[in-house]
Amino acid sequence: MTTLSWADNSYRPPSFQTDSGKAVFVDFKNATYDIEYDLEKKQVRVIADIQLDLPEDGMPIFDSIANPTKVTINGNRVRQKLVETPGKETQVRVVQSQLPAGSYRLQVELPMDQEYLGINNIKFGKRTVNNKFSMSDSEDRGYLELYLPSNLEYDQVPMTLNIQLKGKSEPHQIYSNGQVGKVNSKKFSVSFPDSYTSSSLFFHLVDSNQVRELTFEYRSKNGRKIPIIAYQEKSWPNGDVIDSETSARMLKEAMQIAIATMEELEKNFGAYPHNSFLMKVEGEDSGMEHCGAAITGVKAVRHELIHSYFGRGYLPANGNAGWIDEALTNWAENGYKSRDSFKDEDARVLAAQPIYTRHHHEGGYSQGEAFVEYLHGKLSGKGGLVPFLRHLVGTKKLKTLTTEEFIEEMNSYYGEDLTPEFRRVVYAQDPISL
Ligand SMILES: [Zn+2]
């Protein structure tokens, strides 16, 4: 069940045969999304304009949860089909047109679905809309494809959103980890760094009267000013109002945790790798991380901010790299512990899920953390893991990372072959005694 390719330097998953021909994973060169929120019809319409490279002859792959209403390649209408990957790990959309390798313009029109994975993230009110891109790294097809036609996590894509409100509207604003430009009261553009992947971006369009905000200007160790922004809606998801005192207390608490965590992270792992930290503070204990942003409960602020170094500082290239993010984040969150041994029965296929798997292995949290504690202990004579992770965050800042590259980086940093430990623990093969 494991498909391990130690020598494969390509982030692109292998092409595969379908009933109608060979499906090929592509390289998005850039993507522009026109998103129209019709406040009267209460509908959201998306037109995606994507420039892509098809690296070999075949049928281009993209993905979107919503079924596209129109797809064109270089202006010509084509069909697309939702297809299962060979091991049934996931589904992707395959353009039903055999094309020679080369550059193409893919345009996709679709409605933005209002509900998937039990998440309802588009709410229309009277002259208002509230749209938050909630994502999940523990579910299949849980990233940007929930909202927009996207590529998989391996691809870094310069993305721009052009936002248009149609019909009478209250003032709205956008919270995002991209650069937000306001053209007029109903028109915005958001552009994201070229390095972002489908799990990187945070976007929330909201009625300006419905939010409370607290900001703090953090001074980074390298002298940069880093705005930390905590904000909250004025009501809970069930509609109950949050009084201003509760809100002020939660935002303040979230901010204090963020500042303390930021100081600790900069001290241990070097300068903060993003321009700001944006928190949408919610009532749950859990959260979801993005690059320099998070949707988070107060108790999860520390965890989600650590992810801005591990998982959203370097960027996982696939589902089999996701365990590293949770393992390192939990380990830092819980105080950099070490242990002498790692129990055989705790080995999991953290990095060897079937190859097209897009979500992380849930064992990354506990078994992954325990493995990191073990490595920290084993390497204590060489300073433990902190100096290596500082090096990793510096060299892999906003670059994609696979488990195989992580192992290589570690082997070369410590001048020691740690591959057998990884094979035993995260690939759950070649049992050896640790
Ligand atoms: Zn996490």
**Does residue 209 surpass a pLDDT of 60?**
yes
Q: Are residues 184 and 270 in the same domain?
A: no
Buried b / exposed e across 265-294, counting CB within 10 Å, b at 16+?
bbebbbbbbbebbbbbbbeeeebbbbbbbb
Q: Are residues 300 and 374 in the same domain?
A: no
Separation of CA 376 and ligand 1 centre (Å): 19
Q: How many residues does the chain have?
A: 434
Q: Is residue 286 part of a domain?
A: yes
Percentage, residues of the chain above pLDDT 70: 95
Q: Are residues 38 and 122 in the same domain?
A: yes
Q: What is the largest CA-CA distance in the chain?
A: 68
The number of CA neighbours under 13 Å toward the Cβ of 413 is 21
- Quote helix, strand, coil % in the chain, to nearest 5: 25, 35, 40
Q: Is residue 53 part of a domain?
A: yes
Separation of CA 58 and ligand 1 centre (Å): 37
Q: Are residues 275 and 341 in the same domain?
A: no
The CATH number of whichever domain residue 259 belongs to comes to 3.30.2010.30
Q: Are residues 246 and 331 in the same domain?
A: no
Answer for the pair 256, 228: CB distance below 8 angstroms, yes or no: no
AA identity, residue 416: E
Q: For the residues 92-103, what does the mean pLDDT come to?
A: 97
Q: Are residues 67 and 179 in the same domain?
A: yes
Q: Which of 273, 306, 339 is the last residue of a domain?
A: 306
**Does residue 117 surpass a pLDDT of 70?**
no
Separation of CA 137 and ligand 1 centre (Å): 9
The whole-number pLDDT of residue 286 equals: 86
Q: Which of 306, 329, 354 is the last residue of a domain?
A: 306
DSSP E strand stretches across 102-251? 102-111, 115-116, 119-120, 122-125, 128-132, 159-166, 172-176, 179-184, 187-191, 203-207, 211-219, 225-233
Query: How many angstroms separate the CA atoms of 350 and 323, rounded?
Result: 6
Separation of CA 52 and ligand 1 centre (Å): 31
Separation of CA 327 and ligand 1 centre (Å): 8
Separation of CA 420 and ligand 1 centre (Å): 26
Q: Is residue 354 part of a domain?
A: yes
Range of the domain at 381: 315-425
Q: Are residues 153 and 233 in the same domain?
A: no
Q: Are residues 195 and 243 in the same domain?
A: no
The whole-number pLDDT of residue 105 equals: 98
**Beta pairing class for 211-219 and 225-233:** antiparallel
Q: What is the pLDDT of residues 80-89, one digit of tens each?
A: 999 999 999 9
Q: For the residues 173-180, what does the mean pLDDT come to?
A: 98
Separation of CA 226 and ligand 1 centre (Å): 22
Q: Which of 306, 325, 347 is the last residue of a domain?
A: 306
Q: For the residues 286-305, what does the mean pLDDT come to?
A: 96
Q: Are residues 109 and 191 in the same domain?
A: yes
Separation of CA 229 and ligand 1 centre (Å): 20
Q: For the residues 203-213, what does the mean pLDDT come to?
A: 97
Separation of CA 430 and ligand 1 centre (Å): 28
- Count of structural domains within the chain: 3
Q: Is residue 183 part of a domain?
A: yes
Q: For the residues 169-192, what does the mean pLDDT come to?
A: 97
Separation of CA 115 and ligand 1 centre (Å): 23
Q: Are residues 52 and 195 in the same domain?
A: yes
DSSP E strand stretches across 234-329? 277-282, 287-290, 293-297, 315-316
Q: Is residue 4 part of a domain?
A: no
Q: Are residues 105 and 151 in the same domain?
A: yes
Separation of CA 40 and ligand 1 centre (Å): 38
Separation of CA 329 and ligand 1 centre (Å): 6
Separation of CA 86 and ligand 1 centre (Å): 29
**Does residue 9 surpass a pLDDT of 80?**
no
The CATH number of whichever domain residue 66 belongs to comes to 2.60.40.1730
Q: Is residue 245 part of a domain?
A: yes
**Does residue 273 surpass a pLDDT of 80?**
yes
Q: Is residue 228 part of a domain?
A: yes
Separation of CA 15 and ligand 1 centre (Å): 30
Q: Is 19 exposed, middle or buried (0-12, 13-18, 19+ CB in 10 A)?
A: exposed
**Does residue 5 surpass a pLDDT of 80?**
no
Q: Are residues 70 and 149 in the same domain?
A: yes
Separation of CA 142 and ligand 1 centre (Å): 15
pTM for this one? 0.94
101-115, 316-330, 407-421: which has the minimum mean pLDDT? 101-115
Separation of CA 341 and ligand 1 centre (Å): 24
Q: Is residue 3 part of a domain?
A: no
Q: For the residues 346-362, what does the mean pLDDT come to?
A: 90
Q: For the residues 234-260, what does the mean pLDDT come to?
A: 96
